Structure 1
Amino acid sequence: MPRPVVAIVGATASGKTGLSLDLAERLGGEVVNTDAMQVYRGMDVGTAKLPEAERRGIPHHLLDLMEVTEAASVAEFQGWAREVVADVRGRDRVPVLVGGSALYTRAILDRFEFPGTDEALRGELEAELERVGSAALHARLAGVDSEAAARIQPDNGRRVVRALEVVTLTGRPFSASLPRLEYADPRTLQVGVDIDRPTLDERIARRVEEMFEHGFVEEVEALLARGLAEGRTANRAIGYREVMGHLAGDRTLEQAREQTIVATRRFARRQDAWFRKDPRVLWVAHDDPDRVEVALAAVAGLAAEHDQADCR
């Protein structure tokens, strides 16, 4: 019988990494990254990429694939990830997905087909984004696809541009191409790490402090020398853009640190809101000593349910 697919979801700094390692060990699994920024080589400190020495000998996939000058796309990542998941399962291992990019996770797990793209049109829209700003383009999107506009933050310029591109190319609402709550493979389980906001806020502040103490500014300097400022995706990562502003003289180091904490907390709230809307997620408390056993029981129940179905 095919092995299940397990995804660990939730807010950044909630404890997803530790749970993913525990489950991979117990299930005979391999970890599959679903963090959009951990695909970049050299973006280690600022993305909290787990050092190889701390991976417990468990294979990790989809890390360090791209240079910071290259643009990442959800569609491309979906193809990579589905190939990896199929390979891991084909070797009778359990893929354990973990990462903070909610859309990337949904693109792998759910029935989600991507419309094509048009580089010329995309370039025109991106140029307009630079001229008039994200809010103006978001207002235009609201006029042609109110559902998509309601689901995309007005300050998320990249997604606004993509939505307008799809509407223009297909003549259909962008919302029609968004993922449905339907797994591509029914042998799928999402485990969410539940954590209260005060504890999460404190963890985020501590993580950011440790990033700056462990060479984050030096990491950004090294990546700037490799073209970070020219990249279309990597330079928008939280923390990196704040440190780039500091290095350009636009803010003090302390301001960069505080702005990184604020931006990370805001991002964590968006992550949590996204996953809370998915009724399929099994939530376990971050500090529950039995969280691993609860998740394993759910995996076993899922397997038993589908084994019985296959025998009918």
Structure 2
Amino acid sequence: MADPVHVCQTLSGKKKKVLVIMGSTGTGKSKLSISLASHFPSEIINSDKIQVYKGFDIVTNKVPSSERRGIPHHLLGVVDDASADFTSLDFCRHALGTLALAARNGNLPIIVGGSNNYLKTLIQDPDHEFRANYDCCFIWLDVSLPVLFNYISKRVDEMLEAGLLDEIREAFVPDADYTRGVRRAIGVLELDEYVRFERENNEASKEELLKASIRRTKENTHRLAEAQREKILKLRNELGWEINKIDATQVFEAMEKGEEHEKLWEEIVFKPSFDIVKLFLEKPYKKNYGGHENEGRRRIGSGGEKRWKRDSCYGIEIKGQFCPCHHS
């Protein structure tokens, strides 16, 4: 783990350091954030608009407490009212307070989640003065959509085996508003029709209806993943956010084939991410909300890994290919 004193000193400069991990649903954002937080004194701030609610732990795919490695997690399962809307402004208000708390604790805040509108409002809205107070490093964990879709479909099946349908049954409210709060989560509305129909005696119809509900859950999650990816591209291409892209497709392909994949994750996901964060914490403030990818680029290392410092972001060149910034 990085020296806590060093991180604290890094955070005590003119601008506080913040790490943001982005990506579509199912790409491994939580896993990466916890792995990085195990090496750098950190606190994790959830930016998923569904995971802020209490309950529905399976359908919202919250990280179990047993897998958090004792790392503080904020804004995860904190909203009691399942029908309340937790807006972007609500997120910003809570996130800014949590960012300040993490800085006072001498820890690196890691914002993690798939709700990119939350991030856009936090960072772009001048009323929040985010840019005036924070130096931000963005890591985008990406997976080729066809490969990701296969993984998502399998994950839905695993969620059903873990008790997803029972979770929906227990929370079922006949006149609930499925356009607000946690009930907007994909899987809740899709399985609602089946739960309503369950009391009927036609087993064949029930089976077909369940299959249709599961299929819609998978298809809608695929659409969500694609939409999230498109939003990240807009943040990079239209708003000029300097985003470090990590392509984890090979890991997911290995998983799909039933091959060993943890070493691959370590090599092509964790290690490059670790190096990006290490460089980010070691270097003084550099603007990373705009600028061209070649702007101010210069070599600052030697050997097998050639480190480059740029005016707008940090990256690692490994095996002759500049990785992982700016490549779609």
Q: Do they fold alike, i.e. is TM over 0.5?
A: yes
The one of 218, 237, 247 aligned to 1:285: 247
Unaligned runs of 5+ in 1: 115-178
User: Does the aligned pair in 2 maintain the 1:7–1:191 contact within 8 Å?
Assistant: yes
In structure 2, give the amino acid aligned to 1:300. Answer: K
User: Does the aligned pair in 2 maintain the 1:68–1:227 contact within 8 Å?
Assistant: no
The one of 17, 26, 29 aligned to 1:4: 17
The one of 49, 55, 77 aligned to 2:91: 77
- Measured after TM superposition, the shift of residue 28 of structure 1 is 1.0
- Measured after TM superposition, the shift of residue 95 of structure 1 is 1.0
Residue equivalent to 1:276? 233
User: Does the aligned pair in 2 maintain the 1:192–1:281 contact within 8 Å?
Assistant: yes
User: Does the aligned pair in 2 maintain the 1:71–1:231 contact within 8 Å?
Assistant: no
Residue equivalent to 2:166? 218
In structure 1, give the amino acid aligned to 2:183. Answer: N
What is the root-mean-square deviation of aligned Cα atoms in Å? 2.6
- Measured after TM superposition, the shift of residue 294 of structure 1 is 2.0
The one of 71, 74, 86 aligned to 1:61: 74
- Measured after TM superposition, the shift of residue 195 of structure 1 is 0.9
Residue equivalent to 1:255? 212
SS at match of 2:235: coil
Aligned sequence identity (%)? 27
SS at match of 1:296: helix
Residue equivalent to 1:104? 118
Q: 2-side partners of 1:71 and 1:47: how far apart?
A: 16
SS at match of 1:306: coil
Unaligned runs of 5+ in 2: 1-9, 198-205, 237-241, 252-264, 288-328
Query: What are the superposed Cα offsets for residues 36-64 of structure 1, whole Å, 9 maximum, x if unpaired?
Result: 01111112100110111111111111012
User: Does the aligned pair in 2 maintain the 1:110–1:184 contact within 8 Å?
Assistant: no
Q: Summarize the Cα distance change of 1:75–1:226 in structure 2 as closer, same or farther, 3 Å threshold.
A: farther
Residue equivalent to 2:184? 236
Higher relative contact order (CA 8 A, sep 6+): 1
Residue equivalent to 1:49? 62
User: Does the aligned pair in 1 maintain the 2:178–2:189 contact within 8 Å?
Assistant: no
User: Structure 1 or 2: larger helix share?
Assistant: 1
Residue equivalent to 1:40? 53
- The alignment of Structure 1 onto Structure 2 pairs a total of residues equal to 243
User: Does the aligned pair in 1 maintain the 2:135–2:286 contact within 8 Å?
Assistant: no
Residue equivalent to 1:134? none
Residue equivalent to 1:203? 151
Q: 2-side partners of 1:268 and 1:308: how far apart?
A: 31
User: Does the aligned pair in 2 maintain the 1:61–1:84 contact within 8 Å?
Assistant: yes
Q: 1-side partners of 2:113 and 2:63: how far apart?
A: 11
In structure 2, give the amino acid aligned to 1:263. Answer: N
Q: 2-side partners of 1:245 and 1:104: how far apart?
A: 30
Residue equivalent to 1:174? none
- Measured after TM superposition, the shift of residue 226 of structure 1 is 10
Query: What are the superposed Cα offsets for residues 105-126 of structure 1, whole Å, 9 maximum, x if unpaired?
Result: 2223333549xxxxxxxxxxxx
Matched, 1:295 2:252: no
Residue equivalent to 1:135? none
- Measured after TM superposition, the shift of residue 184 of structure 1 is 5.1
SS at match of 2:140: strand
